[in-house]
Structures are given as structure tokens and as C-alpha cells.
């Protein structure tokens, strides 16, 4: 797990968001936050005109 303490998480300016599985961010959507993945996997992909999914990248929690 992380070396970040509970007090570190409560610093001003830090917002904790728990995203639900299959959270969708649309192409071109402005992102207000940077992500820190503690557990689970994030797969960024786009859908081509033919309907085929193309994975752009995948990040696993706690991956360096």
C-alpha cells in the first residue's frame, strides 16, 4: 500500500474521488483532476469508426 498518511490526504487542495467501475471520460473532455491509482486498473481506449476498441494505454494501481 501507500506511504501516504491519513493526515496527508486531508491537506488543503487534495480531493479524494472514488470512481465507479466503467467510469467514462469522453474524448475532448477537460479533466479537472490528476489521477492517482491506488488499486485496480485503468484502461484508456477509443472506439474507431468501425466500432472496434483500440487500447491506448493501461495503468495498474501502485505501478511505477
C-alpha distances in angstroms, 1 versus 28, 45, 56, 64?
Answer: 33, 27, 27, 13
The average pLDDT across 40-61 equals 88
- pLDDT value at position 54? 93
In degrees, rounded to 5, the angle at the alpha carbon of residue 25 between the alpha carbons of residues 23 and 60 is: 60
Distance (Å, rounded) from C-alpha 44 to C-alpha 9? 26
The full set of domain ranges for the chain reads 1-64
pLDDT band at 12, cuts 50/70/90?
A: confident
Q: What is the pTM of this model?
A: 0.52
Phi, psi at 37, each rounded to 5°: -95, 110
Amino acid at each position: 500500500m501507500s506511504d501516504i498518511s491519513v493526515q496527508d490526504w486531508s491537506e488543503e487542495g487534495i480531493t479524494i474521488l472514488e470512481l465507479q467501475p466503467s467510469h467514462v471520460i469522453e474524448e475532448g473532455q477537460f479533466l479537472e483532476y490528476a489521477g492517482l491509482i491506488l488499486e485496480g486498473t485503468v484502461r484508456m481506449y477509443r472506439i474507431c469508426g468501425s466500432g472496434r476498441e483500440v487500447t491506448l494505454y493501461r495503468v495498474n494501481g501502485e505501478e511505477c
